[in-house]
Structure 1
Amino acid sequence: MSSSPSVQWVEIDQERAGQRIDNFLITHLKGVPRTLVYRILRKGEVRVNKGRIKADYRLQAGDVIRIPPVRVADEKAPVQASEQLQELLSRSILFENKGLIIINKPSGLAVHGGSGINLGLIEALRTLYPQEKSLELVHRLDRDTSGCIMVAKKRSMLRYLHNELREGRVQKYYQALVQGRWPNRATHVDAPLKKNELSSGERMVRVSADGKPSLTEFRVLQRFRDCTLVEAKPITGRTHQIRVHAQFKGHPLVGDPKYGTDDFNKQMKAAGFNRLFLHAAALELTLPDERAPIRVEAPLDERLSEPLARLQAE
C-alpha cells in the first residue's frame, strides 16, 4: 500500500465538468474500493467548495474538492479480457463513430469491476481498445440485463450525452417478459421508488410514498398463454425501475430473483428461460452536430429468443 496519505485538493477544469462526484472519485482514487468512496461521501469527508455534497452531485468548472486521506493500493497491472470475451464484444458492437460506441451487452457481464468482480464491460473494452484513453460508461445496466449501452470515447461526448440524458432527449426502449396477462389499459406506471439496503448489504427497491418520482410507459407487444411480452420505456431512470413497477402492477418479470415469483420462475426455467428477461432493445438519440435522431436496436440473445419462440401464443 502507498504510505502517508494526506488531504488532496483538486480544482475541476472544464474538461471534467459535468461528471458525478462519485464517478470522479472512483477514477481519481485508483485502487480504493468503491465501498470506501461511498463511505467518505456519506460521512461528509469529501467537500466541494467547503460544503457537503451527495454522491450524485455533478461537478462544475472551478469547483474545489477536498479529498480526505485514504490509502490507495499499489497500482496493479490491469485485468485483461480473454480473447473469447474480446471476440464476443467485437461482434456485439451495434454502432461506432469517433466519439461513441453502442454495444449489445451480454447478460451476466457487469458494466464495471468491483465488489468481487475483477472484470466488467468497461475494463474489457479498454483491453479491446488500448488506443482509447478516455473510454467511460455513459450510463449503466444491471449485470443480468442485456442490450444497448453507450460508452463514450471522448470526454466531450460523455458530457454531451449526460446532458441529453438529463434533459430527457435519449429514449430507451426495453423488452420484458412478464408474468400473467398485462392489461392493455396499463400504459403508464407512475409510482415513487425508494432504495433500501438490507442487513446483508443487498440492495432492494420498493414503491413508497416518500420515494423518488418514477414513471414507466408500457406497451403490449405479444401475448402468450401464461405471460406477456411488453415494451417498457422508462421516463425516469431509477434503480430497478422497470422490474419494481412491473411487480407493483402484479406482473413481475420472468427470471427475476429479487422481485419475481419463485414458483413461476421455476415453471419458466423448465420452459428454457434461465435468466432475467429484461433486454435494452433500442436507443434513440441525436448525435452532436446532427439534426435527425438515430435509432440503434439490439437483437435478443439466443437464451431469450429461442425459448420465446417456443411459447404458445394466446
Structure 2
Amino acid sequence: MSRRSLLCAATLAACGLASPLAALAQAFPAKPIKLVIAFPAGGPTDITMRQLADNASKILGQPVIVDNKPGAGGTLPAQALQTAQPDGYTVAQIPLGVFRLGYTTKINWDPLKDITYVLNVTGYAFGIVVPANSPFKTWADFVAYAKANPGKLTYGSTGNLTSPHLTTEIIAQKAGIELQHVPYKGSADLMLAVVSGQLMAAADSTGFAPQVEAGKLRVLNTWGEKRLAKFPDAPTLKELGYDVVQNSPFGIGAPKGTSPEVVKKLHDAFKQAMEEPSYVAALGRYDMLPDYMSSAQYTKFAQETVVKEKVVIEKLGLGKGS
C-alpha cells in the first residue's frame, strides 16, 4: 500500500471514530421538520402554532410543517413521538392532557420517561360561553338552571379529559350542579355547535373571541388570575367564589433519545421564534401570552404536573379504575 493510500485509510478510520450523532447534530436540520399539533386547522392552537412554525422555519433554514392530529383529548401528537425516530425531524405539541394519560388510559409508554421536553411556549385563556340569545345572562342564571334541571344543561369542550372538560367538572362539583358534557375535536367545530344552538354552553380557550365580538356568543366567566382585557365584564372564577385558575401551559416535545445537541438547536430556534412580534401578535388575538420554560424547567414542570393531575383525576372519579 502506498503512503498516500495509508494516509487516506488512516483519515477515514479517524473519521469513523467521530460520533455519528455529533455529525448528525452539526448538520441538523438537513430536511423539513414536522410539528404535530393536537387540534384541528382553524382554531387558536393551529393558527398560533403555524405562526411559530413559520418563524422557526426562517431561523432553522428548513420548513417546519404543521401536521394536525386532533382527537383523544389532545394526546395523539405525544403518542406519535413514541414511534418517531429520535433525530429531531418530528416534534410535537404537548398539551396538559398528556400528563393525565397514565391515570386515564392504558398506555405502554411513560409521559415523563418517553418524551424529551424541549421548551414551553404558551398557555390558553379559557372561559365558558353561551349563545347570545341564551336565557343565561350571568353565571348565576346558569347555576340556577342547572340546579333546577340536573344533567340537562349541555356544554361542549375540545375533548374528553382536556383542561376545559376537567376544569368545568371541577367548577360544577364546587357549585353543586350536574352538567351533560359533549366532546368535540377542536374549537372550530365546538364554536359552530354552540352558535347554532346545538349546545347550551361551551367551555373553551378564547377561540370563542371572534364569535363574542360578532355578537353571537356571551362570556359568562373566564379562568385566569385577572379579567381578560378583551372581555372586561366577564368575572373570573375566583371572583365567583371558586378557587380555580387554569391556563393549561403547553410546549414542544421530541422523541426519547433525541441528542442534546439537536434538542438545543430546536430549543434555541423555537425560543427565538416565540420572541418574534408576529407570534406575540398571533397569541394576542386569543388573549394568549408567551410562557417560556427552558428544557430543564419544562421537564420539571412535567414532573410536577403529573403529580397534580393525579389529584384532579381522583377527585373527579375519572381514573382507569373508575
Larger Rg: 2
TM-score by length of 1: 0.26
- Greater RCO (CA < 8 Å, at least 6 residues apart): 2
Judging by fraction of residues, say which structure has more helix: 2
